């Protein structure tokens, strides 16, 4: 059944857990069916465990992925979020039960035949982007709250969808894609991405399947690999791993990190 290369071995996008909010909110991730692992990074759940005393702003860091998410507490709250090279903050209400599907890079446009660049740096109502999915989702999940049941419904849907998926993406895209991931974003786009096509053609492929240019995607991959390295604020000060990651000085690293994470490195890596 596998139709695309499995990039999980090179790339595991991180979204920080909800912490330091002192609010009754939980965030959890689950793996999909093993047959979906090359396509869906995880299913996730963000929910309140009690009514909040004030609105909550949920921060999503840049991860190179696209997501579908929906609120089981309010059926009309269904969205698609596109590729972003910056963090995004979602204002949420006093009670919610969101479930999401995080697609690995390039999968969503391939699976649904949608130009990723049309959704970049924003989120849109699901019914405007994929009306068929929105119409299926509301009745399919309206009476379901246990996550094992939600997972079973989502697994069954995406396995059916995968059977009808188009042929594999242009291998030249994945050649460049693999180079960026294996080198953890530390690439010279003009010199290192020899995919057998012109830089203009490669950029066109990246815009359609990723949502932005190879250079921008490489920056996100570099940020994500540093974020997932389990560094500490002290090690950042002493060892300065950002130089090895390709940042040319500390000011450059802090500026780009804050743009993508919404926090400074010392805030993000504090114990």
Among 131, 163, 195, which residue terminates a domain?
163
Residues 52 and 142 occupy one common structural domain: yes
| Same domain for 153 and 176 | no
What's the number of domains the chain is made of? 2
- Asked if residue 135 and residue 19 are part of one domain, the reply reads yes
Residues 207 and 122 in one domain: no
Condensed to tens digits (0 to 9), the pLDDT of residues 173-224 reads 888 888 899 998 888 887 778 777 788 888 999 999 999 999 999 999 999 9
Buried b (16+ CB within 10 A) or exposed e, 204-219: ebbbbbbbbbbbbbbb
Among residues 163, 189, 205, which one ends one of the domains?
Answer: 163
Does residue 116 sit in the same domain as residue 58?
yes
Residues 233-268: tens digit of each pLDDT: 565 666 566 667 777 778 888 899 899 999 888 887
**Same domain as 183, residue 118:** no
- 194, 128: one domain: no
Lowest mean pLDDT across 37-46, 80-89, 240-249 = 240-249
Assigned domain for 195 exists: yes
Average pLDDT over residues 48-64: 89
Please give the DSSP secondary-structure letter assigned to residue 268: H
Distance (Å, rounded) from C-alpha 67 to C-alpha 104? 9
Same domain, 118 and 158: yes
Return the SS3 of 167: coil
Using CA atoms, how far apart are residues 223 and 263, in angstroms rounded to an integer? 13
1 found inside a domain: no
In a domain, 2, yes or no: no
What mean pLDDT is reported for the chain? 86
Domain limits for position 252: 171-268
Note whether 66 and 198 are same-domain residues. no
Using CA atoms of 253, 228, 58, 71 in order, give the dihedral in degrees to the nearest 10.
140
Q: Residue 4 contacts by C-beta under 8 Å, 6 or more apart in sequence?
A: 38, 39, 106, 107, 110, 168, 169, 174
- The pLDDT, as a whole number, for residue 236 is 62
Q: 238 and 111: one domain? A: no
Q: Coil, strand, or helix at residue 242?
A: helix
Residues 154, 121 share a domain: yes
The predicted model scores a pTM of 0.91
pLDDT band at 172 (very low <50, low <70, confident <90, very high): confident
What's the pLDDT score for residue 42?
A: 96
Give the long-range contacts of residues 189-195, CB within 8 A, separation 24 or more: 189/213, 189/214, 189/215, 189/218
Q: What CATH number is attached to the domain comprising 210?
A: 1.10.10
What's the rounded Cα separation, in Å, for the pair 195 and 176? 6
Among 107, 135, 163, residue at a domain's last position: 163
Would residue 74 count as lying in a domain? Answer: yes
Residues 143 and 186 in one domain: no
């Amino acid at each position: 059944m596998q139709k695309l290369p499995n990039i999980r071995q090179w790339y595991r996008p991180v979204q920080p857990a909800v912490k330091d909010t002192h609010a009754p909110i939980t965030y959890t991730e689950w793996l999909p069916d093993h047959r979906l692992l090359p396509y869906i990074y995880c299913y996730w759940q963000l929910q309140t465990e009690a009514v909040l005393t004030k609105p909550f702003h949920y921060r999503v860091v840049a991860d190179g992925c696209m997501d579908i998410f929906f609120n089981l507490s309010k059926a009309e709250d269904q969205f698609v979020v596109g590729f972003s090279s910056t963090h995004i903050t979602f204002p949420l209400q006093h009670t919610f039960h969101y479930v999401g599907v995080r697609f690995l890079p390039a999968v969503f446009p391939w699976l649904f035949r949608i130009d990723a660049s049309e959704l970049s740096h924003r989120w849109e109502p699901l019914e405007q982007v994929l009306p068929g999915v929105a119409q299926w989702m509301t009745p399919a999940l309206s009476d379901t709250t246990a996550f094992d049941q939600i997972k079973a419904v989502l697994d069954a849907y995406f396995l059916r969808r995968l059977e009808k998926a188009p042929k594999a993406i242009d291998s030249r895209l994945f050649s460049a894609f693999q180079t960026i991931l294996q080198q953890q974003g530390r690439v010279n786009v003009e010199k290192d991405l020899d995919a057998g096509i012109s830089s203009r053609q490669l950029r066109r492929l990246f815009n359609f399947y990723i949502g932005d240019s190879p250079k921008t995607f490489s920056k996100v991959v570099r940020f994500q690999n540093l974020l997932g390295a389990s560094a500490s604020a002290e090690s950042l000060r002493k060892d300065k791993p950002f130089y090895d990651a390709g940042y040319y000085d500390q000011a450059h690293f802090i500026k780009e990190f804050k743009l993508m994470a919404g926090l400074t490195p010392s805030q993000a890596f504090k114990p």
